[in-house]
Amino acid sequence: MNTPGEHTQNIIRDYFGAGAGEAVMQRLETVSLAGGDWLFRQGDPGDSLYFLVRGRLQVWLDSSSGEPRLLGEVAPGESVGEVGLLTGEARSAGIRAIRDSRLIRLGRDAFEALAAEHPALVMKLAANMAQLVQKGNQRAAAARKLSTIALLPLSGDPTVGAFCDDLCQSLESMASAVRLQRGELGHAGAPVDALEENDPVPEAVLPWLHSLEDEHRFVIYQCDPAATPWTRLALRQADIVLFICESTGDVSWRDWERELELDGGQPAARPTLVLLHSDPAAPIAGTRTWLEARQPEFHLHVRAGRPDDVARVARTIAGSAVGLVLAGGAARGIAHLGVFKAMRELGIPVDWIGGVSIGSILGAGMAMDLGIEETIASARAALVGQKPFSDYTLPIISLTRGRRMDRILAEYFGQDIEDLPLPFFCISCTLDDGALNVHEHGPTATALRASASMPGIFPPAVVDRRLTVDGSVINNMPVDVMQQKPVGQVIAVDLSSQKTYEVPYDSVPSPWAVLRGQWLPFTRRHRVPGLMTTLLKGTELGTLARAQELGRQADLLLHPPVRKFGMTEVKAFDRMVEDSYRYTLEELSRWWETSGR
């Protein structure tokens, strides 16, 4: 039984309180796991509480489909096993180490003996368990607390080395960071000056590496593009592994990668693909081939001469990336452009974009990263110039044919989602079973057509031979989807009505009365929503409570002043953008200052 160190003591005191800390630490046991080892599996006896001291764990759930589902990650200082220890129930999920990890264990017998001496421990454990239940996103948030980074070049190309230099500088500008290169370990204070390519790593190096994690926010391992002992060690210590290559390079697994079992044998901690593009003016293409061959957890594009792309990678690693969620709202979605303009003007980054319905279309335009003025001009030309809501037809399937929308999407979005410079997703709903579809791959236009197929307004889209409609019918504020991405803060934009108003009539006027008011002078005009507006509003109301609940989970929820604009009033484009821009400038300035940025 090992004597806990100071770091362990702090973890225990934070969890149980200072009064019981000493008694608990006398009964702790140390558990060591290698990357890939299981701490326990789903269904195992729940007989212990564990605290992660160093390393990283993943939480896996066996699903009915037979494919295990990743629920989240456990970061140092966090605990697992409260429910089993308190109730005696079997493990509800499995826990697996994705890098070399050290834990401390409190067994059931030790806990029961402690509970007899310190009854308050039981209440403390129950309180901590309740907090875990309430913080449903805690495991997802743990994935953002990355501190050890392995940079794995897939070639010796100079552009790859230059990117590694730029990324390290960007991380160093954020917080304390140390870069470890095999041939220059002595410069970082290692017990060995340097290692040759095939030199084994001395045992004395490992505790020194662990001490660096306590001293620095980031420990960056520069790997060799080869299966060297140093690369093996670096991969075992990493919270995230960046596979870095020129986008025009060979997508296949190298022999040395297979030797390291990176092609599926040995789990890599958060495998992330970074594709470098030497010509920033050329459209990005071919990403799908990389993703199909390597299946990373996510990918990021870095264009030459674009330091904001490098900064985006650094923010993603640091857990400070900003995700922007854009709700549906028909023509009122034009207000999203005002939000985007204000964020750009204030220097607030947009690192990840997610949307639904009109929010997905405008979000995809933002993800093309064309510049704010070109983005707004393109949206104006598409929505005002081409009038996608006006190609009416016999209302057998829908009020409009949807062909104008199809032409617009095909004209402006000819690339795949994975080729967009900024990470993007949108959501739709399968019409037969109501399943939520998250579109992150494949043709952008097809995904947007599905996400914006407002029931009754546009015909359903066909995706994989299934009818699909607007995702807003089940989730008009996909903050929950964004929270599963590697972002640290989420800004959401809500376009729903925030006011109530009374109508000046006891019953809805007849269509003839409405027409008389519109066409004949000196007759009473009735403000009655049209059929399209009623359909759009009905879709919004169906998920209003859910959207408001998800909106409250965002770090910042914006409500642009769109109430005075009609849901199909595209002619108010410029006024809507300007009103939203001015509102957002004020709200964002205050929030950005108070958030400590």
User: Residue 131: is its pLDDT beyond 70?
Assistant: no
Q: Does domain 322-499+534-595 have CATH number 3.40.1090.10?
A: yes
The reported pTM is 0.87
Asked if residue 322 lies in contact with residue 487, where contact means CB atoms within 8 angstroms, the answer is yes
Q: Where in the chain is the domain with CATH 3.40.1090.10?
A: 322-499+534-595
Q: How far is CA 441 from CA 55, 79, 105, 306, 420, in A?
A: 32, 35, 42, 24, 10
pLDDT of residue 319: 92
Task: Give the lowest-confidence range in 116-125, 217-226, 266-275, 362-371.
Answer: 116-125
Task: Give the lowest-confidence range in 73-87, 198-212, 305-319.
Answer: 73-87
Mean of all residue pLDDT scores within the chain: 87
Asked if residue 321 lies in contact with residue 143, where contact means CB atoms within 8 angstroms, the answer is no
For 194, the token pair is 């340097």
User: Residue 270: is its pLDDT beyond 80?
Assistant: yes
pLDDT of residue 496: 80
For 490, the token pair is 């989420």
pLDDT of residue 139: 41
pLDDT digits over 60-119, tens only? 988 776 778 888 888 888 888 888 887 888 998 999 998 889 999 988 888 888 778 777
Q: Where in the chain is the domain with CATH 3.40.50.300?
A: 148-318
The correct CATH number of 4-135 out of 3.90.1150.10, 2.40.50.140, 2.60.120.10, 3.40.50.300 is 2.60.120.10
For 365, the token pair is 């335009």
pLDDT of residue 132: 58
Task: Give the lowest-confidence range in 190-194, 228-232, 516-520.
Answer: 516-520
pLDDT digits over 70-79, tens only? 888 888 888 8
- What whole-number distance in Å separates Cα of residue 560 and Cα of residue 578? 10
- What whole-number distance in Å separates Cα of residue 430 and Cα of residue 473? 10
For 438, the token pair is 């998250």
Task: Give the lowest-confidence range in 389-393, 447-451, 568-572.
Answer: 389-393
User: Residue 179: is its pLDDT beyond 90?
Assistant: yes
Residue 276: enclosing H or E segment and its boundaries? strand 271-277
pLDDT digits over 277-300, tens only? 999 989 999 999 999 999 999 999
| Set 157, 239, 406, 470: catalytic member | 470
In the residue annotation, 320 being an active-site residue is answered as no
Q: Where in the chain is the domain with CATH 2.60.120.10?
A: 4-135
User: Residue 412: is its pLDDT beyond 70?
Assistant: yes
pLDDT digits over 422-469, tens only? 999 999 999 888 899 999 999 999 999 999 998 888 889 999 889 999
Between 151 and 268, the higher pLDDT residue: 151
User: Residue 15: is its pLDDT beyond 70?
Assistant: yes
Look at residue 69 and give its three-state secondary structure.
Answer: strand
Estimate to the nearest angstrom the gap between the alpha carbon of 475 and the chain centroid: 16
pLDDT digits over 322-356, tens only? 999 999 988 899 999 999 999 999 999 999 999 99
User: Residue 133: is its pLDDT beyond 60?
Assistant: no
CATH number, span 148-318:
3.40.50.300
Give the β-pairing of 352-356 and 322-326: parallel
- What whole-number distance in Å separates Cα of residue 131 and Cα of residue 188? 40
User: Residue 21: is its pLDDT beyond 70?
Assistant: no
Look at residue 19 and give its three-state secondary structure.
Answer: helix
pLDDT confidence band for 489 (50 / 70 / 90): very high
pLDDT of residue 4: 47
pLDDT digits over 371-381, tens only? 999 999 999 99
Percent of all residues in the chain with a pLDDT value above 70, rounded to a whole number: 86
Q: What is the mean pLDDT of residues 493-517?
A: 69
Q: Which residues are CB-contacts of 367 (< 8 A; sequence separation ≥ 6)?
A: 353, 420, 421, 422, 423, 424
Asked if residue 68 lies in contact with residue 96, where contact means CB atoms within 8 angstroms, the answer is no
pLDDT confidence band for 1 (50 / 70 / 90): very low
pLDDT of residue 529: 66
pLDDT confidence band for 572 (50 / 70 / 90): very high
In what side-by-side order are the strands of the sheet with 148-153?
A: 177-181, 218-222, 148-153, 240-246, 271-277, 298-303
Q: How far is CA 498 from CA 479, 511, 568, 578, in A?
A: 19, 28, 18, 19
Between 70 and 122, the higher pLDDT residue: 70
Task: Give the lowest-confidence range in 53-62, 84-93, 253-262, 306-315.
Answer: 84-93
User: Residue 3: is its pLDDT beyond 90?
Assistant: no
User: Residue 363: is its pLDDT beyond 80?
Assistant: yes
In the residue annotation, 32 being an active-site residue is answered as no
| Set 79, 247, 357, 428: catalytic member | 357
